[in-house]
């Protein structure tokens, strides 16, 4: 099974993923960690959104290969990879369908106020799920970038409201 974790910045996706992996004996794919290790050390000031999106696409090709291996081993995959856009979520639903893998969507529906508080706290404490600082500009960008899941997407989803 593939678990799609959906929620805007600061919703608690990484924390939820770490709890879920224990409950279901799954493996978490955290794109922020992959970015921090594989790509951020090479980023220059001139590299923008397209630079990141290209690298994310390549990383996700590797993730998909690993997801198929885990599925054959009977291990669930937990995707903490952003999934901010409908098209990104649809890509994984299509991948799952093509490979006859069940999908479960978990939508962390958390207010902007709570998410902003969490980001500020995480930036200061640099705790377990900290990968890099989220600036005010990054937070605001993600507010406009995120597409709330449609009613159809949420039909069989687990919705966590806070």
DSSP 3-state assignment of 48? coil
Domain encompassing residue 134:
2-161
For the chain, what is the domain count?
1
pTM for this one? 0.85
Comparing CA positions, the residue from 92, 98, 30, 99 lying closest to residue 68 is: 99
> For residue 135, is pLDDT > 90?
no
> For residue 157, is pLDDT > 90?
yes
- CATH number where 85 lies: 3.40.50.300
Provide DSSP, 111-140: -HHHHHHHHHHHHHH--TT--S---HHHHH
Provide DSSP, 63-87: HHHHHHHHHHTT--EEEES---SHH
pLDDT tens for residues 49-101? 788 789 888 899 999 999 999 999 999 999 999 899 999 999 999 999 999 99
């Amino acid at each position: 099974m593939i678990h799609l974790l959906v929620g805007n910045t600061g919703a608690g996706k990484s924390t939820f993923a770490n709890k879920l992996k224990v409950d279901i004996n799954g493996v978490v794919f955290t794109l922020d960690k992959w970015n921090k290790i594989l790509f951020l050390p090479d980023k220059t000031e001139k590299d923008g959104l397209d630079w990141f999106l290209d690298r994310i696409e390549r990383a996700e090709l590797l993730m998909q290969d690993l997801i198929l291996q885990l599925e054959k081993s009977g291990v669930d995959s937990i995707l903490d990879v952003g999934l901010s856009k409908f098209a990104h979520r649809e890509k994984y639903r299509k991948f799952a369908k093509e490979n006859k893998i069940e999908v479960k969507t978990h939508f962390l529906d958390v207010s902007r106020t709570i998410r902003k508080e969490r980001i500020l706290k995480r930036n200061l404490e640099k705790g377990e799920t900290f990968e890099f600082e989220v600036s005010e500009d990054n937070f605001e960008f993600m507010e406009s970038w995120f597409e709330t899941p449609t009613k159809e997407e949420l039909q069989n989803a687990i919705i966590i409201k806070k």
